[in-house]
A and B are shown apart, each in its own frame.
Chain A
């Protein structure tokens, strides 16, 4: 059972928009930054969004992040087949005194 809660899977057609939610608590998302990671099949995760809504250099602006209270969201616009991957949210947890991840969301591009 992960500390941060994500839906196991989401799906959408190419060129559509999809959002992935990440629910936490006051000890993690509510008080600390949220980062998002993309894990393509068989690969290591890579940084996708940092500090809730900032894009690292080289990341497409089709990706965006947001946070409100103890929940965060990742949105992907203009879905492409290469976006099919697992997505993880992560944050520091003040109560557990460690880094916590969501359980991951598998994105299917129909």
Chain B
């Protein structure tokens, strides 16, 4: 059964780079139906898609974050990562990694990692 787990620092200083890793277990990162995604949720607010990485390495980013974000994979380690630079307090959120299963016209985010709270503060 596929499982995902986020890891990384829980506190990042303003203007610095937020870096998170998602470790995938119980499956493969090479299925052509799978995209690897990051989604965030500010405290008390709704969900926001950050970006997706295809099994071929193509990336797709939320236009509102595209200038600051990068998602990449280290398949031998069964990991994919998120980098978000020039962070501000508005980037404080619980960050989730998830698998997007996608085969037209079907798609869904499942499973999700448990999430990791990242606070941007000095």
Distance A99 CA – B109 CA, assembled complex (angstroms): 10
Interface residue count on the B side (C-beta < 8 Å): 23
Specify the chain B residue showing the minimal Cβ separation from A98: B62
Distance A43 CA – B114 CA, assembled complex (angstroms): 7
Distance A26 CA – B111 CA, assembled complex (angstroms): 28
**Which A residues, 67 to 110, have Cβ-Cβ distances below 8 Å to chain B?**
88, 90, 92, 96-104
**A interface residues (Cβ-Cβ under 8 A, vs B):** 2, 32-33, 35, 37, 43-47, 50-51, 56, 88, 90, 92, 96-104
Distance A45 CA – B96 CA, assembled complex (angstroms): 9
Q: Is the contact region of chain B dominated by helix, strand, or loop, or is it mixed?
A: strand
The answer to whether B43 has its CB under 8 Å from any CB of chain A is no
Cβ contact within 8 Å between A33 and B46: no
Report the minimal beta-carbon distance from A49 to chain B, rounded to whole angstroms. Answer: 9
The answer to whether B63 has its CB under 8 Å from any CB of chain A is yes
Cβ contact within 8 Å between B47 and A44: no
* Set of chain A residues within 8 Å of B61, measured between Cβ atoms: 98
The answer to whether B74 has its CB under 8 Å from any CB of chain A is no
Q: What are 30 A-to-B residue pairs whose CB atoms are below 8 Å? A: A2-B46, A33-B106, A35-B107, A35-B108, A35-B109, A37-B47, A37-B109, A44-B96, A44-B112, A45-B47, A45-B109, A46-B110, A46-B111, A46-B112, A47-B108, A47-B109, A51-B106, A88-B46, A88-B47, A90-B47, A90-B109, A96-B63, A97-B60, A97-B63, A98-B61, A98-B62, A99-B49, A101-B46, A101-B47, A103-B46
